C-alpha cells in the first residue's frame, strides 16, 4: 500500500504531462510552435514511475520524445512552453526547442534529436559517478528504435564491464517512426538482449506507474550496491503518430484501442481511488489545478519576448 500523498504526486505529474502535451499540440496546430514535436501522450507513466524512484542528485538523460522526462524530473512547465515557443525565457533561450531541453539543476543532462545519441553519454555520466565513488545513478531513457542502433550495444557492454550505476530505460512504444517492432526485431522482448551482455534485465508494464516505480527503485538499489547496470524495458504505446503532423495511419486500430484502454492517466487515477481512497471530486480538484497551472504557463510563454537579432548576434561566433 502507498501513501495517499505519494499516489497524488504520481497522478499530478502524469496528468501534468498529459495536459502539457495536449495543450502544446494545440499551440503547434495554431502555428505557435514550429519544427518537430514528438508527443509523449500514452507513455507518461514510464517517465513518472522512473523519476519518482530516483534521488534528488541522480541524473537522467532524455530523448527527442522528452517533454515527459523533463516534467517528471521536476522541470518548470512555464519555461518549457517558452522553450517550445522559441522564447528567451525558455530553458535554452528558445534556441533548443522541443528536442533539446536540458535542466542542469534538476539533474537532467539533456535531450537530443539523435535516436540513441544519449545512451553513451549517460554511460559516461555513470562512469563519472563510479570514478568519484558517489552514491548516485543515471537513468538513461531511450527507445525501441535506439535499441537497434549500434550505440546501444557498445554502451551496454561498457556499462556492464565497468559495473556502472546506469539504469537503461528502454521505452518500447513499438514504433520507430512508422516501422513497427515486428518488422525491426525478431525477438520483440528487447530486454533479453541485455542478458547477452551479462546485464540484469526485465520488462515492466510501462503504463502502470506503480510497477515502473517499484522496478526502478529496485534497479537503483542494485546500482548503488555496485551491481549495476540494469536494463528495464517499459512496454508502452504512443497514442498518435511519431510527431504532431504524422497521423499514424500505420498504427492498427485494435492495438491502439488496447493501449488506450490501459491509459496511464486512468491507471494512476484508479490507484488514487482504490489505494489512496480519494474521491472523484478531490481528483477533479487536482486536475483543475494542473489545468490552471498550464494556462498560466502558456500565458507566460506567449507574453515572453523572443531573442532580438542583437542578442542572437552576440551568440554568433565569427562573422
Partner 1 sequence: MARKSMIQAINEALHQKMEDDETVVVLGEDVGIDGGVFRATLGLIDKFGESRVMDTPLAESSIVGAAIGMAINGLKPVAEIQFLGFIYQGFDQILCHAARYLHRSQGRYSIPMVVRAPYGAGVKALEHHSESTEAHFAHIPGLTVVIPSTPKDAKGLLISSIEHPGPVIYLEPKRLYRYKKEEVPEEIYRTPIGKAETVREGADITLVGWGGMIPVMQEAAEHVDNEGVDAEVIDLRTILPFDVETITKSVEKTGRLVIVHEAPRSFGVGAEIAAIVGERNLLHLLAPIQRVTGYDIIPPLSKLEDYNYPNSERVVKAIHKTMEF
**Rounded to the nearest whole angstrom, what is the least distance from the CB of residue 113 to partner 1 in the complex?**
5
**Closest separation in Å from C-beta 100 to partner 1:** 7
Q: Phi/psi zone of residue 234: left (φ > 0), alpha (ψ -120 to 50 degrees), beta? A: beta
Q: Measured from the CB of residue 46, what is the shortest distance to partner 1 in angstroms?
A: 19
Q: Smallest Cα–Cα separation from 147: which of 201, 222, 68, 71?
A: 201
Instruction: Tell whether residue 306 is a contact of partner 1 (CB under 8 A).
Output: yes
157, 163, 179, 221: which one binds partner 1 (CB under 8 A): 179
Total H helices, total E strands in the chain: 13, 7
65 CA to centre of own chain: 7
d(C-alpha 221, C-alpha 229), whole Å = 11
Q: Rounded to the nearest whole angstrom, what is the least distance from the CB of residue 116 to partner 1 in the complex?
A: 7
CA distance linking residue 107 with residue 166, whole number of Å: 14
Q: Does 122 bind partner 1 (CB under 8 A)?
A: no
Tell which one of 140, 146, 283, 294 touches partner 1 (CB under 8 A).
146
226-265 residues near partner 1, rule: CB under 8 A: 250
Query: Which contiguous run of DSSP H or E holds residue 156?
Result: helix 150-161
Closest to 80 (Cα-Cα) out of 242, 290, 311, 294: 294
Q: Does 30 bind partner 1 (CB under 8 A)?
A: no
Q: How far is the CB of 171 from partner 1 (least distance, A)?
A: 14
Distance CA 138, CA 220 (A): 9
Pairing of strands 230-235, 200-205: parallel
Q: Does 224 bind partner 1 (CB under 8 A)?
A: no
Size of the site for partner 1 (CB under 8 A): 39
Separation in Å, CA 275 to CA 6, 50, 96, 187, 210: 11, 20, 40, 36, 11
For residue 43 the three cell numbers come to 507513455
Assess 173 for contact with partner 1 (CB under 8 A).
Answer: no
Residue of the chain from 68, 86, 206, 276 that contacts partner 1 (CB under 8 A): 86
Q: Which grid coordinates are listed for 161?
A: 564491464
Stretch touching partner 1 by CB under 8 A, among 32-40, 41-49, 157-165, 276-284:
32-40
Least distance from partner 1 to the Cβ atom of residue 54, Å: 27
Q: Which one of residues 76, 157, 184, 293 is an interface residue with partner 1 (CB under 8 A)?
A: 184
Radius of gyration of the chain (CA): 19
Considering beta carbons, is residue 185 or 275 the nearer one to partner 1? 185
Q: What span, in angstroms and rounded, lies between the C-alpha atoms of 52 and 99?
A: 22
Considering only 52, 89, 148, 215, the residue that binds partner 1 (CB under 8 A) is 148
Candidates 14, 61, 99, 290: give the one binding partner 1 (CB under 8 A).
99
Binding residues for partner 1, rule: CB under 8 A, are 34-36, 86, 94-97, 99-100, 112-116, 145-146, 148-151, 176-179, 183-185, 250, 306-307, 309, 312-313, 315-319
Amino acid at each position: 500500500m502507498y501513501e495517499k500523498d505519494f499516489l497524488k504526486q504520481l497522478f499530478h505529474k502524469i496528468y501534468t504531462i498529459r495536459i502539457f502535451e495536449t495543450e502544446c499540440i494545440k499551440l503547434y496546430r495554431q502555428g505557435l510552435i514550429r519544427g518537430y514535436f514528438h508527443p509523449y501522450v500514452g507513455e507518461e507513466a514510464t517517465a513518472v514511475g522512473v523519476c519518482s524512484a530516483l534521488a534528488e542528485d541522480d541524473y537522467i538523460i532524455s530523448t527527442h520524445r522528452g517533454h515527459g522526462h523533463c516534467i517528471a524530473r521536476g522541470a518548470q512547465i512555464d519555461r518549457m512552453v517558452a522553450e517550445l515557443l522559441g522564447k528567451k525565457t525558455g530553458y535554452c533561450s528558445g534556441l533548443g526547442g522541443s528536442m533539446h531541453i536540458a535542466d542542469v539543476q534538476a539533474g537532467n543532462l539533456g535531450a537530443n534529436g539523435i535516436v540513441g545519441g544519449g545512451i553513451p553519454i549517460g554511460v559516461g555520466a555513470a562512469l563519472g559517478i563510479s570514478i568519484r565513488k558517489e552514491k548516485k545513478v543515471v537513468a538513461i531513457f531511450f527507445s525501441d528504435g535506439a535499441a537497434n542502433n549500434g550505440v546501444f550495444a557498445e554502451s551496454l557492454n561498457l556499462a556492464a564491464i565497468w559495473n556502472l550505476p546506469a539504469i537503461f530505460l528502454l521505452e518500447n512504444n513499438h514504433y520507430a517512426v512508422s516501422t513497427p517492432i515486428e518488422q525491426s526485431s525478431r525477438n520483440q522482448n528487447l530486454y533479453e538482449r541485455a542478458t547477452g551482455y551479462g546485464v540484469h534485465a526485465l520488462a515492466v508494464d510501462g503504463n502502470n506507474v506503480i510497477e515502473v516505480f517499484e522496478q526502478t527503485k529496485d534497479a537503483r538499489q542494485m546500482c548503488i550496491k555496485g551491481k549495476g547496470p540494469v536494463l528495464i524495458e517499459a512496454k508502452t504505446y504512443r497514442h498518435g503518430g511519431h510527431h504532431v503532423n504524422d497521423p499514424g495511419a500505420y498504427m492498427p486500430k485494435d492495438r491502439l484501442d488496447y493501449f488506450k484502454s490501459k491509459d496511464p492517466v486512468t491507471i494512476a487515477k484508479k490507484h488514487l481511488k482504490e489505494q489512496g481512497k480519494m474521491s472523484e471530486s478531490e481528483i477533479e480538484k487536482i486536475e483543475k489545478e494542473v489545468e490552471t497551472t498550464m494556462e498560466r504557463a502558456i500565458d507566460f510563454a506567449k507574453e515572453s519576448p523572443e531573442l532580438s537579432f542583437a542578442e542572437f548576434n552576440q551568440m554568433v561566433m565569427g562573422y
